[in-house]
Chains A and B, each alone.
Chain A
Amino acid sequence: MADNVDEDSPDRIKAGDYVVLKRGDIFKAVQIQPKKKAMFEKQWFLPDTAVGQLYGSTFDVAPGGILQPRKPKDTEDANEAGTDNRHILDDGKSQKLTRDDIEILKGQGLKDQEIIQQLVDNSSTFRDKTKYAQDKYIKKKKKKYENTVTILRPSCRILAMMYHGREPGKICHMRYDMLAQMLTLANIHAGSKVLVFETCAGLVLGSVMERMGGYGSVIQMFPGGGPVRAGVESFGFPAHFHDTLHEFPICHVNALLAGTLDTACKDPPAGRGQCPYFMFFFYFQAQERKVKLEEKRKKLASAAALLEGRNADGLVIASRFHPCPVLLGLIQFLSPSRPFVVYSQYKEPLIECFTKLKERGGTVNLRLTDTWLRRYQVLPNRTHPLLLMSGAGGFILSGTTVAVDDSKPANSQRAEEPAAKRQKVDGR
């Protein structure tokens, strides 16, 4: 039954799309460009040969790097099996095919399922293995000889898992469940005005934007010469989402807070000197420079206008910078009764944030937390946890702003509860 092409058109892969390649638990984000090769799991292929196919499809990598849609897998044969391994000798001699034999088979163009079947047929001990051991054997061979790639639409979930698996250093070792906690604790939702300060390649920023759905506004506070947003591109947002994204260089935060930021000024003010934001444009041609500077000035003015009301609805911080000064600086832009979330790879800087916020006043419900994530293998009679992921996930400090009290001395805040009191959280 042929699909009505027009109806399915939004679900078809198009040239220029940002997609995520997947094989098992390995992901990679690429952009589909004509004739551009992608390297994934030690294989080269041409993603643009998948243009026109549906998202979510799995492809075989044919010779030449051409992707061919894969037929749905056949049901597995019921193999004869043994009861336990008491007579199986692990002498490395049970597989009759040599490496060369396998290479020849590959050269003949045998599909991975066929190669695996050959390996099974040529194994003297396969028949004696238990059914579970046979499944495990086949799974292992599939992982080794698999020649497929699935093409997915990007999403926060997939990209967060990808970054954590491939390049955790780029995202301050933030585990994906920690990102999930941050997005919820900061109450990210459509229509609000959210401040984001991150050095996570744009993953956090993109995730915030995904949860806002193109409504409201996101202001990226950035250090240095310009905002880093590679991760945002990978989300493949529609063009109008970018209208809600603003940026503001942190080197102007103090001026903005003091009310002395002049967004009408075209040249770097005297004495500003080392602000990298303006230094960046020093080498441009005079004409280009003027146009670019004017563009930047407009963006700065629009971001400043959004910030100076000090009525932002949420603040998300996730960076390699010491979180304390970042938080104390940016929290001033929030309305009262709004959430803020700070992520740090390390606990100690967040302890400092906690202490300083308590001294300063103006926040309630401060909590320093981290999460443990445990995955499970669920199979009949073989259900058990997989490796425990912990330690490399980071920590979160969350809280809610309230009106800052100028009249009362800071230390007359209500004391923290003593240790014995059980937290009313996840109580079961």
Chain B
Amino acid sequence: MSFVEYSDLIQDGDVAIVYLGPESMMPVKVKQGAQTQTRYGVIRHSSDLIGRRYGSKVTCSKGGWVYVLHMTPELWTVNLPHRTQILYTTDIATITMMLELKPGAVVCESGTGSGSLSHAILRSIAPSGHLHTVEFHQQRAEKAEEEFKEHRVDRLVTVRNQDVCKDGFGVTGVADAVFLDIPSPWEAVRHAKAAMKRQGGRVCSFSPCIEQVQKTCEALVDQGFEELSTLEVLLRVHDVRTVYLPLPDFGPDETAPQTSVALKTTTLPREMPGHTGYLTFATKPRT
């Protein structure tokens, strides 16, 4: 297993996803001799997991069953331990395309946070790219470094514990793309510019508040960035269900056989997530 490469069989040391049911999953560190408790019973790693194929159905001690899934950054995003508020797949997907991430890209990111976006970036730039990620909180920086090692992607990433607004990303002239998710991104714009390649590149800033966006756009224009574009992306999840619509009774009628009609349709949740943050993209021209 690797976050950036598929494998077929579950191995000791893998981080896998145990699927219990819809909206019910948990990450599991696979280890010889270890056990995992679930509501369907115990899973014994040595006999139930190691050597089995990913995607297999695993029967637990109480007789219930689960599926074991290969890790992906998307599964990690919805199962990772939160140390900060994280970015979800909808925003991550937009960022990945708009920053033109692809194998070989060099990316600078701050703040690392809980590593949700970091893992997605690593997946997209592997095997030949590199991620320079900056986190000003020491424990979070250390935890991130630990996780990258555990997830076998540490060769692709460098974590720096510093303040990007004061000290920048720790590299200059190498990045194809820069991503900012910090409280005062306008203070880091000049560092973003310095970290980027002379030939140019793409930058993205994520901010929940419009005032932050305004200040960041001003800073981007001042620093000579072009093609500014601010947008937001919202996800709508459609629940597929069968609904029964009763038919009216207008009195005796031979041609009306049924009392109700079954309809396969979708409904939207009562409360839809309405805002995560604004995404501002820009292009650094050649300097």
Comparing B42-50, B137-145, B178-186, B230-238, the segment that makes contact with chain A is B230-238
Q: Is B123's beta carbon under 8 Å from chain A?
A: yes
Identity of the chain A residue whose Cβ is nearest the Cβ of B104 in the assembled complex: A213
Known: A56-B285, A213-B128, A422-B269. A189 touches B53 (CB 8 A): no
Give the interface residue-count category, chain B: 35 or more
Q: Are B55 and A425 in contact (CB under 8 A)?
A: no
Partner among B68, B93, B240 whose Cβ is within 8 Å of the Cβ of A180: B93
Identity of the chain B residue whose Cβ is nearest the Cβ of A339 in the assembled complex: B72
Q: Are A425 and B53 in contact (CB under 8 A)?
A: no
Q: Which residues of A have CB within 8 Å of B54? A: 335-337
For the complex, give the distance between the alpha carbons of A75 and B240 in Å.
Answer: 56
Q: Which residues of A have CB within 8 Å of B88? A: 425-427
Q: Which residues of B have CB within 8 Å of A146? A: none
Q: Which of A372-403 contact B (CB under 8 A)?
A: 372-376, 378, 380, 383, 395, 400-403
For the complex, give the distance between the alpha carbons of A414 and B186 in Å.
Answer: 49
Q: Are A372 and B233 in contact (CB under 8 A)?
A: yes
In the assembled complex, how far is the CB of residue A189 from the closest CB belonging to chain B, in whole angstroms?
Answer: 5
Q: Are A425 and B237 in contact (CB under 8 A)?
A: yes
Q: Is A333's beta carbon under 8 Å from chain B?
A: no
Q: Which residues of A have CB within 8 Å of B34? A: none
Q: Are B233 and A373 in contact (CB under 8 A)?
A: yes
Known: A180-B93, A337-B69, A376-B278. A54 touches B53 (CB 8 A): no
For the complex, give the distance between the alpha carbons of A176 and B98 in Å.
Answer: 10
Q: Which of B135-179 contact A (CB under 8 A)?
A: none
Q: Are A402 and B85 in contact (CB under 8 A)?
A: no
Q: Is B6's beta carbon under 8 Å from chain A?
A: yes
Partner among A210, A369, A403 whose Cβ is within 8 Å of the Cβ of B55: A403
> Which applies to chain B's interface (DSSP): helix, strand, loop or mixed?
mixed
In the assembled complex, how far is the CB of residue B251 from the closest CB belonging to chain A, in whole angstroms?
Answer: 33
Q: Is B26's beta carbon under 8 Å from chain A?
A: no
For the complex, give the distance between the alpha carbons of A120 and B120 in Å.
Answer: 50
Q: Are A185 and B6 in contact (CB under 8 A)?
A: no
Q: Which residues of A have CB within 8 Å of B126? A: 189-191
Interface code A42-59, partner B: CB below 8 Å = 1, 0 otherwise?
A: 000000000000101000
Q: Is B21's beta carbon under 8 Å from chain A?
A: yes
For the complex, give the distance between the alpha carbons of A370 and B268 in Å.
Answer: 11
Known: A180-B93, A190-B103, A351-B266. A428 touches B236 (CB 8 A): no
Q: Which residues of A have CB within 8 Å of B68? A: 337
For the complex, give the distance between the alpha carbons of A414 and B19 in Å.
Answer: 11
Q: Which of B229-273 contact A (CB under 8 A)?
A: 229-241, 264-267, 269-271, 273
Q: Is A275's beta carbon under 8 Å from chain B?
A: no
For the complex, give the distance between the alpha carbons of A187 and B285 in Å.
Answer: 30
In the assembled complex, how far is the CB of residue B119 from the closest CB belonging to chain A, in whole angstroms?
Answer: 11
Q: Which residues of A have CB within 8 Å of B228? A: 378
Q: Is B223's beta carbon under 8 Å from chain A?
A: no
Listed residue (A184, A372, A400, A424) with the most chain B CB atoms within 10 angstroms of its CB: A184
Identity of the chain A residue whose Cβ is nearest the Cβ of B281 in the assembled complex: A157
Comparing A31-39, A97-105, A299-307, A360-368, the segment that makes contact with chain B is A360-368
Q: Are A185 and B241 in contact (CB under 8 A)?
A: no
Q: Which residues of B have CB within 8 Å of A335? A: 6, 8, 54-55
Q: Are B74 and A184 in contact (CB under 8 A)?
A: yes
Q: Is B78's beta carbon under 8 Å from chain A?
A: yes
Q: Which residues of B have CB within 8 Å of A191? A: 4-6, 126-127
Q: Are B22 and A416 in contact (CB under 8 A)?
A: yes
Q: Are B214 and A380 in contact (CB under 8 A)?
A: yes
For the complex, give the distance between the alpha carbons of A109 and B254 in Å.
Answer: 82
Q: Is A423's beta carbon under 8 Å from chain B?
A: yes
Identity of the chain B residue whose Cβ is nearest the Cβ of A185 in the assembled complex: B74
Q: Is A147's beta carbon under 8 Å from chain B?
A: no
Q: Which of A321-361 contact B (CB under 8 A)?
A: 335-339, 347, 351-352, 354-355
Known: A180-B97, A184-B120, A347-B266. A355 touches B240 (CB 8 A): yes
Q: Are A213 and B102 in contact (CB under 8 A)?
A: yes
Q: Are B22 and A375 in contact (CB under 8 A)?
A: no
Partner among B97, B232, B236, B264 whose Cβ is within 8 Å of the Cβ of A370: B236
For the complex, give the distance between the alpha carbons of A151 and B214 in Å.
Answer: 29
For the complex, give the distance between the alpha carbons of A187 and B6 in Å.
Answer: 10
Q: Are A180 and B74 in contact (CB under 8 A)?
A: no
Q: Are B55 and A181 in contact (CB under 8 A)?
A: no
Q: Are A313 and B6 in contact (CB under 8 A)?
A: yes
Q: Are B97 and A157 in contact (CB under 8 A)?
A: yes
Q: Which residues of B have CB within 8 Å of A181? A: 89-90, 93-94
In the assembled complex, how far is the CB of residue B10 from the closest CB belonging to chain A, in whole angstroms?
Answer: 10
Q: Which residues of B have CB within 8 Å of A185? A: 74, 89, 93
Q: Is A222's beta carbon under 8 Å from chain B?
A: no
Identity of the chain A residue whose Cβ is nearest the Cβ of B230 in the assembled complex: A376
Q: Are A156 and B100 in contact (CB under 8 A)?
A: yes
In the assembled complex, how far is the CB of residue B277 from the closest CB belonging to chain A, in whole angstroms?
Answer: 9
Interface code A182-210, partner B: CB below 8 Å = 1, 0 otherwise?
A: 01110101111000000000000000001
Partner among A355, A402, A420, A422 whose Cβ is within 8 Å of the Cβ of B69: A402
Q: Which residues of A have CB within 8 Å of B96? A: 180, 183-184
For the complex, give the distance between the alpha carbons of A338 and B240 in Å.
Answer: 22
18 CB < 8 A contacts A-B: A11-B286, A155-B100, A177-B233, A180-B97, A181-B94, A213-B102, A215-B103, A339-B72, A364-B19, A371-B235, A372-B234, A374-B233, A375-B231, A378-B213, A405-B57, A424-B78, A425-B78, A428-B85
Identify the B interface with A (CB < 8 A): 4-6, 8, 19, 21-23, 53-57, 67-70, 72-74, 78, 85, 88-94, 96-98, 100, 102-104, 120, 123-124, 126-128, 199-200, 210, 213-214, 217-218, 228-241, 264-267, 269-271, 273, 275-276, 278, 280, 283, 285-286
Q: Which 10 A-B pairs have the closest CB atoms?
A: A336-B55, A213-B103, A337-B55, A184-B93, A180-B97, A337-B54, A426-B273, A376-B230, A190-B103, A368-B238
Given contacts A190-B126, A374-B232, could you give 5 more A-B pairs where the C-beta distance is less than 8 Å? Answer: A157-B97, A189-B124, A375-B231, A402-B56, A405-B57
Identify the A interface with B (CB < 8 A): 8, 11, 54, 56, 155-157, 160, 176-177, 179-181, 183-185, 187, 189-192, 210-215, 311, 313, 335-339, 347, 351-352, 354-355, 364-365, 367-376, 378, 380, 383, 395, 400-403, 405, 414, 416-417, 419-428
